[in-house]
Amino acid sequence: MALKRDKHDSIFSELVRERANWCCESCGRDFSTNHASLHCSHINGRRHTSTRWHPLNALAHCVGCHRRLGEEPIQFTRHAEYEYGVMTVEQVARAALHPMKIKPWQKEEMYQHYKQELARIKALRITGMLGRIEFAAPDWYQQGITLRMGEAT
């Protein structure tokens, strides 16, 4: 039941993995010379439109960790809570339950924004910066998520 990936998913996936400096955020192995074996792993699945491209709804996981954590949802949640904090994971999960209509022009704007964020992080890598480098969602998207984080379930 895999959802089709579009260019928005591709740029988001690359950003999530570049953010992690191409290391698995579970086992720590380096995939900088083997990009295809590092995945963008969603905490709340991509069918949730509101959180599909949110920075705090994904982690970079190698094929093995992605499969293992996919089969062990409680471990996946614990791991996400360790990375982002219990409150954030709970809030993003709440936002995921409240759909967001994203207009085509907004999607295009998000794509351009994420392309710029990717270029910004890559430029920092060239200066020798290691470790995780955060990226931000477009303002309107972050505001929509923040609103939904506070909604009752």
Task: Give me the residues that bind Zn ion (CB under 5 A), please.
Answer: 24, 26-27, 62, 65
Smallest distance from Zn ion to CB 31, Å:
9
Q: Which is nearer to Zn ion, 13 or 26 (CB)?
A: 26
Q: Which is nearer to Zn ion, 23 or 100 (CB)?
A: 23
Smallest distance from Zn ion to CB 108, Å:
33
Smallest distance from Zn ion to CB 59, Å:
10
Q: Which is nearer to Zn ion, 65 or 121 (CB)?
A: 65
Smallest distance from Zn ion to CB 61, Å:
6
Q: Which is nearer to Zn ion, 23 or 110 (CB)?
A: 23
Smallest distance from Zn ion to CB 37, Å:
9
Q: Which is nearer to Zn ion, 24 or 102 (CB)?
A: 24
Kindly write down the DSSP assignment for every residue of 129-141, as one continuous string. --S-------HHH
State how far the Cα of 16 lies from the Cα of 39, in Å rounded to an integer: 9
